[in-house]
């Protein structure tokens, strides 16, 4: 089961993360609703399905209406080679295309949340993923291995991207100290005829 | 990787398969249009208008995205039953799902682990279709979009060599699980798979579908959320 959780380290992540955090500073506290986060644009928000061209089947990118979505382009441009690495691993010798259905960011502050409880991602995607912009030392995401009924702790640090099957249950433990900022998304990697 | 292809044997599959095959015999060869990359003799295409129509109890809408909605109240209409008179061929879906329900539940409970997570679950089947393949028919490498899981149920298969093949990305080796008529295979939708070319005049018949197994917060958990975060439940 462990080999279904893929971790990639993004090049030049220090510079990328600095840009992202500056950009997030200028965004209102919450866009959309979400039960358990301090700050973010929820995946239920209208802008969540707005994804840069060539990354989505939808032509839905309206940055004039929602300027905060600039962070998506910034991140995807920086992480593109790692997305390709993941796609080539799963569709060897085939042409492929990405379809990101939605993308959102969350910022958590210590003591303010109880953590995010067990969940998987739906409706309708092959893969889910998270990019860690800033994360306290020794912080990890927990996945449930149904084979053994044990949790798999995946440690991550600033600059790591973790991709996993959307059906896999996972949770974020309570933040005991420091701040945590992530970008998350759901996607398909399809054969391109 | 092998443990990502889950095999379930359907109870009373002999009776089920006879009913399904008798029913398919009453249908025309083509319901919908075949896509260019498929080589199949008889089918209802997954691009046909009836393909996303499934009995209401097998389709699920997120009540958490509807402020004030209760997760036990499904507010989607029963498009399947409303259109059954127009597309009577869809009846095979209901016949199969009723027979296989306990195996679907086994798969869902394995992945949701309600006793550990405290979660309930619901199925959301996006599309379902059938294929009947004869000599020279095949489907090349393919994966499925907009879903967590894909699956195939074998109604009749002339030989083991015509069972679906999968590509293991870890070693680029082709895997072919042992299976026969009455078996259901469920696998991750991202996994490449293909139907080997039929080199016999005997027939292969399958039902295939795409689905999510949606986690559902129990009512008690929703009640607590409404108390702690009432602003998220305002219209």
Contact across the interface for B110 and A122, Cβ inside 8 Å:
no
The residue segments making up the domain with residue A99 are: 2-191
Among all chains, which residue has been given the structure tokens 């080199």?
B199
pLDDT in the model for residue B170: 86
Whose structure tokens read 């559902």?
A: B216
B:169-228 residues touching chain A, CB 8 A cutoff: 169-170, 172, 188-192, 212-215, 221, 225, 228
pLDDT over 80 (residue A32)? no
Percentage of residues of chain B with pLDDT beyond 90: 69
Q: What is the mean pLDDT of residues A28-47?
A: 71
Please give the biggest Cα pair distance in chain B.
64
Interface of A with B (CB under 8 A): 1, 3-4, 33-36, 44, 89-92, 94, 99, 101, 117-120, 122-127, 144, 146-147, 149, 165-169, 188-191, 193
Instruction: Check residues A110 and A143 and name the one with the higher pLDDT.
Output: A143
CA angle A181, A167, B1 (to 5 degrees): 110
Decide: A185 and A100 in contact? Cβ < 8 Å: yes
Q: What is the band of A2 on the pLDDT scale with cuts at 50, 70, 90? A: low
pLDDT band at A33 (very low <50, low <70, confident <90, very high): low
Nearest to B110 among A122, A146, A166 (CB): A146
What gap in Å lies between CA B184 and CA B10, rounded to an integer? 7
Alpha carbon of A22: minimum distance to chain B alpha carbons (Å): 27
**What mean pLDDT value characterizes chain B?**
88
Residue B233 has pLDDT above 90, yes or no: no
Which of A44-48, A98-102, B101-105, B121-125 is predicted with the least confidence, judged by mean pLDDT?
A: A44-48
State yes or no: pLDDT of B66 exceeds 60: no
Q: Give the pLDDT mean for B28-52.
A: 79
The winner for highest mean pLDDT among A21-25, A32-36, B29-33 is: A21-25
Of the candidates A92, A74, A103, the residue with the CA atom closest to the CA atom of residue A182: A103
Number of domains in chain A: 1
SS3 B8: strand
The residues with which A92 forms a beta bridge, in sequence order, are none
Query: For position B1, what pLDDT does the model report?
Result: 45
pLDDT at B69 over 60: no
pLDDT at site A93:
85
In order of B81, B132, B158, the CA distances from B29 in angstroms are 23, 9, 20
Enumerate long-range contacts of B117-121, CB under 8 Å, 24 or more apart: B117/A117, B117/A118, B117/A144, B117/A169, B117/B215, B118/A117, B118/A118, B118/B218, B118/B221, B119/A118, B119/A119, B119/A169, B119/B215, B119/B216, B119/B217, B119/B218, B120/B215, B120/B216, B120/B217, B120/B218, B121/B213, B121/B214, B121/B215, B121/B216
Q: What CATH number does the domain containing A73 carry?
A: 2.60.120.620
Top mean pLDDT of A78-82, A122-126, B77-81, B141-145 is at: A78-82
Which of A44, A26, A27, A48 lies closest to A35, judged by CA? A44
pLDDT at B38 over 80: no
**What's the token pair of residue A35?**
């039960």
In chain B, the residue whose alpha carbon lies closest to the alpha carbon of A97 is B145
Q: Give the model confidence (pLDDT) of B75-112 as tens digits.
A: 667 889 999 999 999 999 999 999 999 999 999 999 99
- Mean pLDDT of the region A101-129: 83
* A30: confidence class by pLDDT, cuts 50, 70, 90: low
pLDDT for A34 equals: 56
Mean pLDDT score, B139-149: 94
The DSSP symbol for B172 reads: T
Bridge partners of residue B130, in order along the sequence: B207
Q: A149-163, pLDDT tens digit by residue?
A: 899 988 889 999 999
**Maximum Cα–Cα distance for chain A, whole Å?**
49
Q: Read off the pTM.
A: 0.90
- The span from the CA of B126 to the CA of B54, in Å, is 8
Asked whether the predicted pLDDT for residue B60 surpasses 60, the reply is: yes
Question: Do residues A125 and A141 lie in contact, with contact meaning Cβ atoms separated by under 8 Å?
Answer: no
Choice between A59 and A135, residue whose per-residue pLDDT is larger: A135
More confident position, B34 or A21: A21
Q: How confident is the model at residue B68 (pLDDT cuts 50, 70, 90)?
A: very low
Average pLDDT over residues B155-164: 98
Q: Which pLDDT score is estimated for A185?
A: 96
């Amino acid at each position: 089961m462990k080999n279904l959780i893929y971790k990639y380290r993004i090049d030049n992540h220090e510079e990328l993360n600095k840009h992202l955090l500056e950009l997030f500073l200028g965004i209102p506290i919450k866009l959309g609703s979400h039960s358990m986060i301090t700050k973010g644009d929820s995946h239920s928000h209208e802008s969540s399905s707005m994804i840069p061209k060539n990354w989505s089947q939808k032509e839905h990118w309206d940055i004039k209406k929602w300027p905060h979505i600039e962070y998506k382009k910034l991140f995807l441009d920086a992480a593109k080679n790692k997305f390709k690495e993941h796609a080539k691993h799963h569709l060897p010798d085939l042409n492929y295309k990405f379809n990101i259905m939605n993308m959102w960011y969350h910022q958590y502050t210590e003591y303010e949340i109880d953590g995010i409880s067990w969940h998987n991602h739906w409706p309708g995607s092959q893969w889910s993923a998270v990019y860690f912009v800033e994360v306290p030392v020794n912080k990890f995401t927990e996945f449930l291995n149904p084979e053994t009924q044990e949790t798999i702790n995946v440690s991550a640090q600033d600059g790591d991207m973790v991709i996993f099957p959307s059906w896999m249950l996972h949770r974020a433990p309570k933040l005991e100290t420091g701040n945590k900022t992530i970008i998350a998304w759901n996607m398909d990697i399809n054969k391109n005829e | 990787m092998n443990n990502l292809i889950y095999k379930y044997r359907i109870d009373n599959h002999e009776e089920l398969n006879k009913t399904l095959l008798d029913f398919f015999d009453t249908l025309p060869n083509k319901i919908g249009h075949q896509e260019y990359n498929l080589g199949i003799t008889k089918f209802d295409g997954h691009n046909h208008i009836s393909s996303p129509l499934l009995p209401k109890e097998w389709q699920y809408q997120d009540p958490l995205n509807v402020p004030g909605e209760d997760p036990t109240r499904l507010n989607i209409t029963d498009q399947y039953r409303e259109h059954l008179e127009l597309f009577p061929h869809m009846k095979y879906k209901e016949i199969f799902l009723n027979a296989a329900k306990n195996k679907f539940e086994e798969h869902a409970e394995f992945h949701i682990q309600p006793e550990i997570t405290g979660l309930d679950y619901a199925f959301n089947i996006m599309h379902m279709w059938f294929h009947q393949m004869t000599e020279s028919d095949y489907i090349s490498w393919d994966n499925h979009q907009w879903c967590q899981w894909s699956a195939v149920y074998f109604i009749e298969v002339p030989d083991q060599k015509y069972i679906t093949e999968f590509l293991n990305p870890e070693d680029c080796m082709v895997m072919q699980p042992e299976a026969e008529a009455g078996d259901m295979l469920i696998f991750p939708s991202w996994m490449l798979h293909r139907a080997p070319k039929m080199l016999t005049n005997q027939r292969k018949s399958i039902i295939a579908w795409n689905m999510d197994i949606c986690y559902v917060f129990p009512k008690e958990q929703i009640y607590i959320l409404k108390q702690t975060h009432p602003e998220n439940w305002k219209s």
